[in-house]
Amino acid sequence: MAKVTDHIKQSKGTLFSFEILPPSTGESIQKLFDNIAPLMEFKPKFIDVTYHREEFVYKKMPNGLLEQKSIRKRPGTVSICAALMHKYDVDTVPHIICGGFTKEETEYALIDLNFLGIDNVLALRGDCIKGQKNFEPTHGGHKFADELVSQIDSMNRGHYLSDELQNPTPTKFCIGVAGYPEKHFESPNLKTDLKYLKQKIANGADYIVTQMFFDNKKFFEFEEKCRAEGITVPIIPGLKPITAKSQISNLPRNFYIDMPDELIDAIDKCKSDDEVKNVGIEWSIAQAKELIKHKAPCLHFYSMGKATAIQQIASKLF
């Protein structure tokens, strides 16, 4: 198995990768295998597996009082990574988040990944718990992604939380982080956001994967500003094909992104989601071709549990 950065260095062209969601609780992993099987023919060098933190629900008790319960609707990130590696002989990139973990629990999770031979991680702060207005770090955990990157990098240098260990073995994680061509929604402006991104790189991150975008100009400008700030690591563009008309409102609301007028005008003319899907596929193909011409190191697709559109796009490119 290899690191994401090694795959990029060894490639003579633009690579293909994608991100998947773990199955919901109670679903079979076979459903996941069936969904991504058509994408494996395009030889992805790595597959990202998201991590979903806990949610709180309230259950009414016999006495009429409400009991708060913590649940996770999509568990299994680590085991899915191991299963994919075993079944497809492909590298996997589990997401590691700040929320829901103490520093000790983070270390234990990283040790498990290391023992499994998983050498890549994507370090993220993570979202707020549903219902919370602001991100609240776990007591004893990290508040920001740059702190999480520092802990992983420290383990790579053989520094664990306990100072009593004798000759601890360094880990060898390749650390990815998120970048936002249209800035993170909590940052006051892109300049400030780039300052935090630069700190993540300084703390040990090896590459950047961007939030989805639909205007390549936004990516090119973001990349140029990163380079001007002295950020030299690979920057991987993230893409998501539009497959339903509802997404032109859902995606901007959930991911704080803009969509070009030309794309919105084309979708508005569609009379069905099948037509929207065709528009979305053609738009993504055009984006991808321009990014390949630009020599993007990899095209990273956000599947959100559906692979059909990505399969059609990949068939035209890889």
Here the tokens at position 281 are 């596929």
Q: Is 195 helix (H, G, I), strand (E, B) or coil?
A: helix
For residue 19, indicate whether it is catalytic: yes
Q: Can you tell me the distance from the alpha carbon of 52 to that of 267, in angstroms, rounded to the nearest whole number?
A: 31
Q: Give long-range contacts, CB 8 A cutoff, 24+ apart: 222-229.
A: 222/179, 222/180, 222/181, 222/190, 225/190, 225/194, 226/179, 226/194, 226/197, 229/194, 229/195, 229/198
Here the tokens at position 145 are 């992604």
- Single-letter amino acid, residue 40: M
User: CB–CB of 138/98 below 8 Å?
Assistant: yes
The number of helices, as runs of H, and strands, as runs of E, in the chain is 11, 10
Q: Is 4 helix (H, G, I), strand (E, B) or coil?
A: helix
DSSP readout, 131-183?
T-SS--PPTTS-SSHHHHHHHHHHHHTT--S-TT-SSPPP---EEEEEE-TT-
Q: Which of 19, 107, 147, 182 is catalytic?
A: 19
Crossing angle for the helix pair 216-228 and 273-293, to the nearest 10 degrees = 30
Active site residues: 19
